[in-house]
Structure 1
Amino acid sequence: MKLFCLLTLFFTLSTQAQFQINGIVNDQKNKPLPFATITTLDNNNTITDVDGKFTLSSKVKISSFTVSYIGYQKKIITVSDNKKFYPISLKQTTDNLKEVVIPNENPALAILRKVIIYKNNNNPQKKLNSFEYKTYNKLIVTANPDSIQGRIDSSASYKDLKKKRINVDSSDYKFKEIISKQHLFQTEKVSQYQFGDRKLKETILGTKMAGFKQTIYEIIAFNLQSISIYDSKYELFETKYNNPVSNDALKDYNYKLLDTVPIKGRDTYMIYFKNKKKRRASGLEGVLYIDQENYAIAKAVMRIKGVLDISGIHEFEYVPEEKIWFPGNTTFKIVKGKNDDDINILGGTIQFDGDVEEAFETRKKSASDFTYVLSESNNFDIHYNTTAPINKPSLYIEIKDDASKKTEDFWNQYRKENLDLKSQKTYLLLDSISIRNRVEKRLGIGRKIINGFYPIGPVDLDLKKIISYNNYEGFRLGLGGITNDRFSKNFRIEAYTAYGTKDGVFKYSTGAGVLLDKSTNTWINSYYADDVREIASTVFAVDKRVFKIYDPRPINISTFYEYSGWRSNIQTKIIPKTEAILEVSRNQIEPKFDYLFNLNGKLYSSYVMTTTMLSIVWAPFSDYMQTPTGRNETEKRFPRFTFQYTQSLPNVLDNDFSFSKIDFKTEYEKKYLNGQKTSFLLQGGYATGDVPITHLYNTMPNNLNKETIIQRLTFSGRNSFETMYFNEFFSSQYAFFQIKHGFDRIKIMKKVRPSLVLVTRMAWGNMQKPEQHVGPTYKTLNKGFFESGIELNKIFKGFGLGGFYRYGPNQLPKFEDNIAVKISYILDLGL
C-alpha cells in the first residue's frame, strides 16, 4: 500500500498519441492566457492550462488549428511537419459579445447568477425523481517514457587526488525500461449507480486490481472527485472546496467570460473562474461551459494547482426528452506540480517535499517526477425515472461478493476499448511481482499494525497488551491476542494475561465469539475476566478501538477497582448507520483503595453487580460501504451520537444493588477550506439508585497534586481536564462540554510547523446520596468547572506543548496551582 501511494504522489503529466503538438498562448505583453480554446478542423479541441500551455493530441494528422479567446482576435495556425511547439500571441480587440453585454456589470457574473438560480432545474439529482446508469472506470499510474532521459549517470570519489571509486546511478534507466513495458499500477471497476428518494447508491459489479487477488476496499471507496457538479462543496482528492456555482460562490470567486463554444450542437458560454484569495491552494479554478438557453453546466474543468496539479473534468450529454444535461464522462488527473511547500495526503499518512532551491543547488528531478495518475469513467445504459426500488438504500457503496472474480468475458463486455498490450502486461507482471514479494501479505500486516495487532500465523498478537504503566500496577507486562481468518472466518478466540510489577498480581481474560451474520457483522461473544479498571471512568462499549504507542493519561492513575466475572454480548450493525452492543454481565467488584459503600447502614468493601447494558452509536450523515467481509464506515461525517443504558438486575445471580445509568455523547467537527477545524464534544451521564463510587463519574481529570508546575508536567490527554486533579471531583450526574479550534499549521522553519489549537472545557455535576460513600474526600461540580488552554501541537517530530488555566468557582487560591503545562505527542496515521 505504501509503495502504491508513493508512486501515485510524484507526478508530471504527459499524454501519448499518434499525433501531438504543444504550445503556449500569450497576449501581446507576453502574459499567458489561461483556458484559451484550441480547435481543429474536425472539431477536436482542448484548452490551455493556467500557464497558457496546451497539448493537442489526435489519432489523425493535424493540418491546422484555431486559437480563440474572448476579447482577442482569433488566429488560425498552420501545422508544419517538423514543428512540435507553437508559441502563439493573440491581439486584443475591443469587440465584445453583444448578447451578453450588461451595462456596468461583468457579463460573467450575470450568467453565473442565472446558473445559480436555475441549478435545481438542471441538477439531475434535483429535477429527476430517479435514475440509474452503469459506469466503467479505469485508473492507471504510469508515465510517458519519452519524457524520461533514462541515461546512466556516474560520479567518481577521490582521495588525495587519486580516483577511489566510481558510483553508477542507473535508476532512471531502469525506470524507463519498466514504464516502456507496463504501467506502475492499474485497476478497473464496473458499477451501477441508482438514485431515488434523494439518495445515490453505487453497487460495484466487478473490480480488478493489478497485483491483488483480493480488492483493496480502501482504494475502491476513495473519492477522487464529486459525482455531481452541483454539490455545494465540490470534492477533489479528499479535499472539499466551495463550488463555483454554490449559492454563496460569488463572494469567493472571480469570473471572466472567455468565449462561446458549441458543445453537442448547443451554444455555450465558456467562463473562467478563480478563487479570490491569493493564498495558494485556497480554492478551485477552472472553466465552466454554460448552456446559453437553460444555463445548465454542459462541461466543467475543476483544478487545484500547487505541489500537486489536480484536475477533474466533467462532460455531459444533452437529453432532449428530459431537457437536461446528464453526466457522461469524467476524467481525473494528478500531476506533480511546482511549489516550495510540503503537502500531506490521506490525512497526513504521506508527506513529501516541494521543489526546493538551495543556495547553490536545485533538486535533481528523478524519474518518478514524471509519473502521473489518470482515472477515466464512462457512463452508459442510462435510464430515467425508474421504478425499481433500491436495495439497501442506506448504503453509499455495495460491493458484490463475486465482484473480484469476474471473467474476461465480463470485462470485454463493458470496456470502452480493448486493453492495449501495455495494460495486459501490467496485470501479468504486477500479479507475478505481488506473489513473489508477498505484497498482499505485507499490506494485510500493515493494516493490522495500524489497529494494534501483529499477525503470527492464525493469531493476531495484541500490541496494546505488551507493556503499559500506571501508578497502581507499575509496569504492566502482558501478552494477548485474537484468532484471525486463518483459524476460522466464523469463530474466534481471544485472551490475554498481564502482570503488574508494583502490585505483583496477574490479570487475565479469555473469551470466544461466533459469527451469526457476515453482512451485518453480527457476532455473539462470551468472556471471563479478572482485571482492574480505573474508578468512575466512563467507557462506551461501542467506541472504536484506538491503538496508541503510549496512552498518556493512565500513567498517573492510582485508584482502581478489581473486577472478576463473565459477560456475554451480541454486537451488530444490522440497523443502518449504527453499531450496537447488547450485553449481560456479572462481576465481583473490589475497590483497591480506601473505600466502603454504605447501603442502609450496611458497609460493603466488595460487592456483586449483575447488569444488562445497551450501547449504540448512530452516524446518520456518514457513508457506509458493504463489502464481502462486512459493513464499514467509508466517510466519517458529523454529528454522530452515542447512547448507553445500563440497568442492574435485582435478585439475579446475587446482585447487591439496584441502579440505572444513562450515558450520552455527541460529536461534531467542521473543517474549513483554509485548513482550520472546529470540533465540539457534548457528553453527559445520569446515574440513579444505589451506585458505588467505582461506577460513578470523575469527568476525566489529568493533573497531579504536586507542589510546582514542573512537578505536574505530564503528557496531555485527548478530552480530559488538564488542571483537574485525580480524584478531586466525583458526580452521580454530570454534563461535559468541550470546544476546540485548530488553525492551519504555522510555518516557522522548514521542519518546524506547529499546529495552534485553542481549547475550552467546562463541566457541571451533582452527587446524590453522598452519605453512601465512606472513605475518599472529594468535591462536587455543582458550581461548575472551567478551563481554557492553548496547544502547540506537532512542533517537532509529533511532539508539542500546551498550557491550560483553571478559572471560575473552583479556581484554587494560589495562581500557579491553576496552571498546567503538558507535553503532547501526535502520531498521525491518517485514520
Structure 2
Amino acid sequence: MNRQHPISFYIFLLFILNFVWVGGAFAQKTIVSGTVRDAVTKETLPYVSIFFTGTKIGTQTDADGKYTISAPDAQTTLSFNYVGYTQVVRNLVSSATQQIDILLKPDSKALDDVVIVAGKRVRYRNKDNPAVELIRQVIAHKDDNRIKSYNKVSYRQYEKMLFSMSNVSEKFKNKKIFRNYQFLFQEQDSTLIGGKNLLPVYIQERLADSYFSQSPEQNKTVVVAEKQVNFDAKYIDNKGLKSYFSRMYQDIDIYKNNISVISNEFLSPIADGAPTFYKFFITDTLKNQTPEVIELSFTPRNTTDMLFEGRLYVTNDGHYAVTGASLGVNKNINLNFVRAMKIDLDFEKNSQGKYSLSKSNLLADFGLNKNKGLGFTGERTVTFKDYKFDAAVPDTVFQGKSLVVLADADKRDDLYWKNNRLDSISTNQLKIYHNIDTLQNLPSFKRTMKIVTLLFAGYQNLGPYEIGPVNTFYSFNNVEGLRLRLGGRTTPELSKRFYFENYAAYGIKDEKWKFFLSGTYSINNKSIYEFPQNYVRASFQRDTKIPGQELQFVQEDNFLLSFKRGVNDMLLYNDFYRLDYVKEFENHFSYAMGFKKWSQTPAGGLFYQNDNNDFINRVSTSELSLQLRYAPNEKFYQGKIYRVPIPDRYPVFTFRYTAGLKGLFGGEYNYHNLMGSIDKRFYLSQLGYSDVTVEGGYIAGKVPFPLLDIHRANQTYAYQLNSYNLMNFLEFVSDHYVSINIDHNFNGFFFNKIPLLKKLKLREAVSFKALYGGLRDENNPGMSTGLYKFPVYENGANRTYALGNEPYMEGSVGVGNIFKLLRVDLVKRFNYLNHPEVSEWGIRARVKFDF
C-alpha cells in the first residue's frame, strides 16, 4: 500500500500554491498578544472572545487566559467579550507587534442569566471536578442520544465543499503574472477563518437521501444530484480529487470515540477516555433556555496531540444531549500546514424529543507558513433536513451497494439546484463553475499546467501522444552501465478504444537495446486508466530486471534507485510475451487473467549452473494466471503511471494463482504457484495507526531457484515499506512461506511530551517484518538432482539460501515529519547475520508527505 499523497493531488495544490511563494511577502500584519484577567480576583479568564473591531478576525484566550491574534493588514481597535463581564475595546498602536493585557469587570446584569464558574485558581484535577462529572454523564448517555438509538431513520442531506485561495492582497492581484486572470478576483469573501480574503477555486455539491437501520445495522446513501468543478483530465483526475477531498473532510459524528479530520484521527471530547486527555471547565449555565443548557469548555492536556479544543453545549435535563459544539485545534498541534481549523455542529430538537444534527461545518486554513503568506482554505458544509424516525423503510432499500449514484445525478440543471438546495449559496461561489472553465481555455494557463505535469508527474503531453516518464530517461547499474531510455504512450485524444505504449533503452556498457511495445483495447469504451477498467492488452518487453526487486509505485529504472549498497551485479535479460484481460466491478472486486511466455537469461554475476556443472544460457516458461482482488470501499487517485490508494481502515484482499505449463510454446516446467495477502490499516486513536500486511505463498512442483519465490529485497538507500530493507537481492528463496509486515506511526504521541522535541513536531514510527518459509527437498539443489545450483560470490561464498528453522526478521525505529516531508529509519537485522555481504544495521530514508 502506498501511504503518501498522490502526485496529481500535488499538481492541484501547485495550481493554488504557485501563488503562495510569489505573493506572501507583501502582506502587512498586525499581531497582538497578552493575558486577560478578572479585574476583581486577578485570576486569568479562559475562552474570552477577542475580535479586531469591524472584522470577523477573532480568537479566544486559552485555559491560562493567554491569547494571540493577528490580521494581514493594519488594525485600529481590539474588543474583548466574555459572558458576565463588561465589554472592553482597546485602541491599538501603529506598531505591527504589541502586547496588551486586559482586566475585565463583572457585569451584574449579565449575571442574572448566566452563572460563571470561577474562583481561586487551583491545580486542575479530575477528582471532585463538576465539569468532569458532567462530561462523564454525557459519555454515559451517548447511546441514548445518537442517531443509532432509533430502529430506522431516513433524512435528506445537502453537502457543499469549497476550496479557496486565502490571504489575497491587492498587490498580489495586480501582479503581471495574473494579467489574464483578473476575472478570478471578483467578489472576494472575508467572512471565514481569520477574516482573510478568499478566492474560490474549487466547488462541489451533492444532494442525497440517507437511510439507517439498526437491526441489522445497515446504511444506504442514494445521491440524487451532484456537480463539481471539472479540471482538464490530462492534468488532474477529477474523480480521484473528489475522493481525496471526501477522505480529508469526512462526516463529523461527535458521538464517535474518534473523529477523522484531514486524514488524521482526533479523539472526540465525549469519547470514553476523554477525561484522560482533556481538561474540562463549566464556563456558562444558560438558564434562559428550555431545557437548561450548560456550556462546557475543554482544552487538551497536551497541546501538541491530535485533540480538539473548544466548547460543548449540553442539556441539563437528565438526558445530557449535545445541542451544539464548536471545535478547533490548538496553535501548537502537531498537524502539518494547518493554520487554523474550526468545526461547528448545530443540533435541533426532533419530533421524538431528542436532538438531531441539523448542520455541520468544517473549515481548515492551510499554508506553507503558519503565520503569514498566501494559502488555501477548505470548507465543507452539510445540512440535514426531513428526518423520519422509526418510519417504515423497506428492507429492499438496503440491498446492493451502500452508496448509489443515480444515473442522471450529474445532469441536474440550475433550476433544479436552485429549488432543492437545503442551504444558501453565494453568487461568487456559483461563479467558480464558469471561472475555472474560462481559466482552462487560456493558452498561458495550459502552458503552465504542461510544465507542472512534466515536473511532477513525469509526462509531457503532446495531444494524442505523451512522452515520459522523465525520471526513467537516465539511470545506471553495474551491468548496463549508463542506461538511456525514451518512450511514451498514446492518450484518449488519439482513440478512446485503442491505446499504445512504447519505449526504447540502450546500455552503454553492455551495448544492448531494450524495448517495450503494448497495444490495449478498451472493451467498455473508457480510458484504460479510468475505473472501472475493462480491457485486453497484448505486449512484448525485452529488458533487464533485478531478481527479488519488486516495486509498487515507481519504475525500476528510476534514476534515484540507481544508487545501491553492497554488491549489486546480478541481473536478468528478459523477454516477456503477454496477453492480459482485466475486469473491474463497481463494488471494487476485480479479476485479471493472463498468459505469459517468459525467457530469462542471467547476466553479470548471476549464473545458471546445473548439477553437471553445465551453464544454462536461458530458461523458458509459459504461464496461465488468475488474480482476484477485493477492496471494499476503496478510494484512490489515478495518476499518470499508477493508481494510488487513499489510505483508510478497509482491508484489501488479493489472491493470485499461476500455472506453469511444460511444452506450451516452449515452456520447460510444470508448476502451480499460489499467493494470498491481506492489507489493512488499524487506527489506534491517540496512539496513531498501524499498516499491517499478512502474506503467504506455496509452489507445487519441482522447479529451479529462478522460478521459486524470490523474496523482496532492497539494496537501495530508500526505505521501502513492502521490502526487506537489509536483505540482499536473491538472498532468500522459498517454495512455501508466510510473512507479516507491521508499520506503526505514533503521530508524535511520545515526542509531543518531550519539551525539546515537541516544538520540532517530529513523529515517531516503528516497524517489524518477519518471513517464515523454506524449501522442500525436491526444490533444494543440495538434496535433489536436476536443479540449478544456488548463486555464489567470486570467492565461492553462497549468495542464495533457503530459510531455516527460524524466520528472517528485521525491525526499525524511525523519525518522521522532518521538514514536514522526510522519514529516516534506523533499521536492524535480527538474524542470519553470518551471511556474507550483509549488515546488521542500516539507515534508510523516504519522502512521506502527511498533514
TM class by shorter chain equals 0.7 to 0.9
In structure 1, distance between residues paired with 2:288 and 2:456: 49
Alignment of 1:722-761 (within 5 A): 722-742=725-745, 757-761=765-769
Name the residue aligned to 2:135.
Answer: 112
C-alpha separation between the residues in 2 aligned to 1:205 and 1:625? 23
Q: Note if 1:774 corresponds to 2:784.
A: no
Q: Is the counterpart of residue 199 in structure 1 residue 214 in structure 2?
A: no
Residue identity opposite 2:251 in structure 1: S
Deviations 1:635-669 (A, max 9, x none): 53354333222112355444321111122333344
3-state SS of the aligned residue for 1:316? strand
| Structure 2 CA distance for aligned equivalents of residues 34 and 98 of structure 1 | 11
Take 2:323 and 2:829, find their aligned partners in 1: how far apart are those partners? 58
Counterpart Cα distance in 1 of 2:205 and 2:289 = 27
Q: Which residue of 1 aligns with 2:193?
A: none
Q: How far apart are 1:521 and its partner, in Å? A: 1.8
Are the equivalent residues in 2 in contact too, given 1:538–1:697 (CA < 8 A)? no
Q: Is the 8 A contact 2:692 2:743 kept in 1?
A: yes
Which residue of 2 is the match for residue 318 of structure 1? 349
Q: Deviations over 1:378-410 (max 9, x none)?
A: 2334444433745885465x6666655543212
Q: Which of 480, 483, 486 pairs up with 1:473?
A: 480
Check whether the contact 1:24–1:48 (CA below 8 A) recurs between aligned residues. no
* Equivalent in the alignment of 2:106: 90
Q: 1:314 deviation in Å? A: 0.9
How far, CA to CA, are the matches of 2:280 and 2:104 in structure 1?
A: 24
What is the distance in 1 between the residues matched to 2:737 and 2:563?
21
1:334 aligns with 2:357: no
In structure 2, what is the equivalent of residue 660 of structure 1?
Answer: 672
Aligned to 1:184: 199
Amino acid at match of 1:773: L
Structure 2, unmatched stretches of 5+, are: 1-11, 25-33, 51-57, 70-78, 90-99, 118-125, 190-197, 332-337, 793-799
Counterpart in 1 of 2:509?
502
Aligned pair partner of 2:278 in 247, 253, 260? 253
Tell me whether 183-192 or 674-683 shows the greater mean CA deviation.
Answer: 674-683
Counterpart pick for 1:459 among 462, 465, 479 = 465
Residue 176 (structure 1) shift: 14
What amino acid does structure 2 have at the position aligned with 1:192?
Answer: A
Confirm or deny: 8 A CA contact 2:515 2:543 kept in the other structure: no
3-state DSSP of counterpart to 1:187: strand
608, 620, 624: which one aligns with 1:595: 608
1:405-441, Cα deviation, whole Å (9 max, x unpaired) = 5432123223467755544665555543443266578
Deviations 1:443-489 (A, max 9, x none): 58756865554322222323154233333322332222222221223
Q: Which residue of 2 aligns with 1:129?
A: 152
1:537-588 CA-to-partner distances (Å, cap 9, x unmatched) read: 3759xx5667966235778643333333422222233162444322222233
The 8 Å contact of residues 155 and 384 in structure 2, kept in 1 or not, is answered as no
Q: Which one of the candidate residues 522, 530, 548 is aligned to 2:533?
A: 522
1:696 partner amino acid: L
Task: Note the C-alpha offset of 1:285.
Answer: 1.3
The verdict on how the C-alpha distance between 1:264 and 1:391 changes in structure 2, with shifts beyond 3 A counting, is: farther
Equivalent of residue 551 in structure 1, options 540, 561, 575: 561
Q: Could you give the per-residue CA deviations for residues 53-72 of structure 1, whole angstroms, max 9, x where no partner exists? A: 999xxxxxxxxx99875xxx
Is 1:580 aligned with 2:586?
Answer: no
Q: Relative to 1, partners in 2 of residues 1:760 and 1:432: Cα closer, same or farther, differing over 3 Å?
A: closer
Counterpart selection for 1:409 from 407, 415, 420: 415
8 Å Cα contact 2:146/2:255 also seen in 1: yes
Alpha-carbon offset, residue 133 of structure 1: 1.0
Residue type at the aligned position of 2:417: W
**Runs (5+) with no aligned partner, structure 1:** 13-22, 39-45, 56-64, 80-84, 153-167, 336-344, 346-350, 356-364, 704-712
Please tell me the residue identity of whatever aligns with 2:732.
Answer: F
Aligned with residue 162 of structure 2, among 139, 157, 169: 139
Between the aligned partners of 2:593 and 2:238, the Cα distance in structure 1 is: 31
CA distance in 1, matches of 2:819, 2:646: 31
- Alignment of 1:616 with 2:601, yes or no, is no
**Corresponding residue number in structure 2 for 1:763:** 771
Give the match's secondary structure for 1:550: helix
DSSP-derived class of the 2:479 partner: coil
Decide which moves more: 417-426 or 693-702: 417-426
1:456–1:694 Cα change, 3 Å: farther
Counterpart of 1:586, as a letter, is K
Q: Distance in 2 between matches of 1:301 and 1:741?
A: 31
CA distance 1:563–1:270, shift in 2 (3 Å): same
Q: Which of the pair is proportionally richer in strand? A: 1
Say whether the 8 Å CA contact 2:647–2:681 is kept in structure 1. no
Alignment match, 1:236: 261
Q: Tell whether the 8 Å contact from 2:159 to 2:380 is kept in structure 1 after alignment.
A: no
Quickly say closer, same or farther: Cα 1:418–1:282, change in 2 above 3 A: closer
User: 1:479-498 residue pairs with structure 2 within 5 A?
Assistant: 479-498=486-505
- Structure 1 length-normalised TM: 0.73
Structure 1 residue 767 displacement after superposition: 2.0
Q: How far does residue 318 in structure 1 lie from its aligned partner after superposition?
A: 1.7
Q: Give 1:212 shift.
A: 7.8
Separation in structure 1 between the aligned mates of residue 580 and residue 264 of structure 2, nearest angstrom: 39
For 1:432, the aligned partner's letter is: T
Contact 1:598 1:604 in 2 (8 A): no
Residue 378 of structure 1 corresponds to which residue in structure 2? 383
| CA shift digits 1:668-719 (9 cap, x unpaired) | 445666685544443333212022321213323445xxxxxxxxx9555444
Query: Residue type of the partner of 2:364?
Result: I
CA contact (8 A) 1:577 1:624 kept: no
Query: What is the aligned partner in structure 1 of residue 17 from structure 2?
Result: 6
CA distance in 2, matches of 1:130, 1:200: 11
Aligned length: 729
Partner of 1:811: 833
Q: Which among 283, 295, 314 is matched to residue 307 of structure 2? A: 283
Structure 2: distance between partners of 1:474 and 1:719: 27
Q: Could you tell me which residue of structure 2 aligns to residue 60 of structure 1?
A: none
Matches within 5 A, 1:72-87: 74=84
Alignment partners' CA distance in 2, 1:753 and 1:779 = 43
- Between stretches 2-11 and 753-762, larger displacement belongs to 2-11
Amino acid at match of 1:141: S
3-state SS in 1 of match to 2:495 = coil
Distance 1:428 1:417 in 2: 21
CA RMSD of aligned residues (A): 5.2
Give the corresponding residue for 2:28.
none
Shift in CA distance, 671/694, structure 1 to aligned 2, threshold 3 Å: same
- Displacement of 1:803: 4.9
Q: 1:224 to 1:758 in 2, by over 3 A?
A: closer
Q: 1-side partners of 2:67 and 2:764: how far apart? A: 39
- Would you say the 8 A contact 2:828–2:842 is kept in 1? no
AA at the equivalent of 1:256: F
Q: Which moved more, 1:501-510 or 1:257-266?
A: 257-266
Residue type of the partner of 2:357? P
Determine if contact 2:549/2:714 at 8 Å carries over to the other structure.
no
Determine the C-alpha separation between the residues in 2 that align with 1:406 and 1:317. 30
Deviations 1:14-70 (A, max 9, x none): xxxxxxxxx9985335666445799xxxxxxx9967569999xxxxxxxxx99875x
